[in-house]
Structure 1
Amino acid sequence: MRPTIEKITPQLKTIFSHLHEHPETSWNEHDTTSYIRQLFKNYDCKITTLDDSPGLVIEIGQGSPVVAMRADIDALWQEVNGEFQANHSCGHDAHMTIAIGSLLTLLEDGYPEKGTFRFIFQPAEEKGTGALSLVDKGIVDDVDYLYGMHLRPMEELGDNQFAPAIRHGAACFIDGVIQGDDAHGARPHLNTNAIHVGGELIQHLKNIDINPMIPHSIKMTAFQSGGESKNIIPGNATFSVDLRAQTNAVMDELMINVKRITAMLADYHNISIELKIDANIAASVINQEATSIMEDAIKDSVGVDKLQPMITTTGGDDFHFYTIKKPHLKATMLAIGCDLQPGLHHPNMTFNHAIIPEAVEILTNALIKTAERGNQDDQ
């Protein structure tokens, strides 16, 4: 490991602890943005904050190629020990710490004379809208290579193991509203019980049959109906549905089925069911050149014995909107095995923090290798 990374490891522990203890939900990451900004205010780098949202971009170097690293900065809102709160149960606190460590390493050790290194601290990954916002702002218009990272649960990748790419699936989050009339508990014939409609919807979602060779899932993740009065049959409800698919084509099939089912139930019960897509995250597009560079960086940094094949997961990440919206981008995500248990988004998720310096080493090497390869190609 680079001596610089060993030297800054105590500082990275402090940074991680601060980020972990001060989580902020999507589009509310203002204090997180300020904290990262102040870490680098005394360094020779260009810091750009966003006019209308949290998040920031820090840049060093000059010329081509432009090599970027993205870290997501938002936390989840979930129930932890009986109370709802912001919570870093998806590892974004680690992702930020790793990106900060890589930038600090380049600033301390130096970097290739030719090449621009851009560190993107992106808001609202959990909402699936942060990457699209930065694409619209032109943050990656001139980027040639883009790298990301994600901690992986034990069921996907063992402790202290790394993979050069993550084949994420597509994800879609739907909000629904059932609209009808309330009725007296003694007169169920005078309305349609929205809770019964919800039960029927769940059953029909379970009955969707799509090619089992392609991983996919669909499930209801929220349902609210009724109030304090026990003798009122509720006619209204709100609900949320989470859809996952390994390919964008299968996601399209799931969406068609959801729309057909809700239209059928609305017609049968003579009620209204409205659907609104909260987020729609596309499946990944894998770039072989970027993946190859990351694979070499893993081998050189931690040894070939810690290298694993590309991870395939039905989880989604808005990172892939960068490559879908900007096809010229060569991108991949480092999969980090870190004894993560019980799983991502569990309110009490834990992982092996000792993996952070090793991930810093890998990604720093990937950035340098990419810049050097770009300079060779120009010669």
Structure 2
Amino acid sequence: MGWAELFPRILGEDVAVEIRAYDGSRAGTPGAPVAVEIRSPLAIAHLAAAPGELGLARAYVTGALEVHGDMHAALSAFPAVTLEAIPPKLRWELMTRLAPMRLWWPVGVPAVEHRPRGWRHSKARDSSSVSYHYDVSNRFYEWVLGPSMAYTCAVYPEAGATLEQAQHAKHDLVARKLGLAEGMRLLDVGCGWGGMVMHAAEQYGVRALGVTLSRQQAQWAQKAIAERGLADLAEVRHLDYRDVAESGFDAVSSIGLTEHIGAAQLPGYFSSLADKLRPGGRLLNHCITRPDGSHGSRPGKFIGRYVFPDGELEPVGALVSAMNDHGFEVRHEENLREHYALTLADWSANLEHRWDDAVAEVGLSRARVWRLYMAACRLGFERNVVQLHQVLGVKLDEYVSAMPLRPNW
């Protein structure tokens, strides 16, 4: 039996893709628009050593496994069983066949795989984990994210909207939910390349401070702020949100930071943001969540080691309770799950359009990680494995919220 004929037992039977192997064997659906190529026995070795998604990811990232055609279509064709561990009997069979090649163990781990050290969610470890993902290359992110340089879920006003229109709509939705107006002070925690900071300053005349643990993001943002003539109103610092000295802000936005906080740190996180606000100030928390409490908070091994080390996702109910218990009255919530699937589709299209440039900039392995992760996450949002929630809270002035009687955003 050739490797291709064995592979459906790993990926699942009746997959709607063609499977080809270097030994000439074939399996799956002949002539399918998507094909999986086993380019080396190392692909099988990775699966034997790390059954499930981690082994598949390692095989793809190293190039031992190739996907011909659209990555999202390929992942959509694989049944959910591909994310489960390979049965022990099949794993033993793989090891037996690989043993003469001396490939079954140990198998080298790709250099781009990251395992952070130190106390989980300590400042030093958080800084290292954020740097791993975000300090890749500002040029690379410019190609993938587009001119907005917004690395969070966009809000599409209509199905045909462009990515730039949708990112502008997202920032404006946040601004309106926060009730921003000229002369107010905004703190944007985990600000990325400063998109929300610059939007608030430019569109609303708000004095905005953003903080990020990525040095490259802060440098890029400060340059963009100067080029757009916003230096009198906007600033981005390379700083942990826990170390912001100022307080008395009118509003706080947190767009895509909570995923990096960790469940055990949520009470301190929301309490610290409440401390930064004046009475009557609002917080808009925008983050990826689990669809319910039956899922673990930690992501799969591929996302945890190649994309967002130490990331943790909670169901929205846990976030609402934590906000409510630590300084905020919760006033509004909405799920933007489908919007994130659209955002990831646009990012993936940008990556494919500049694929050769991206590979030259960050290396083939890193580019393959991004191609795989964005397609997989898009599928996750489409299938309700993950969601995206915006939760609006207010720090009461004694018992007065100063909120409008009905949402005006």
Q: Which has the higher strand share?
A: 1
Which of the five TM-score ranges fits, normalised by the shorter chain? Answer: under 0.3
Q: Which has the higher helix share?
A: 2
Q: Which has the higher contact order (CA 8 A, sep 6+)?
A: 1
TM-score w.r.t. the length of structure 1 is 0.24
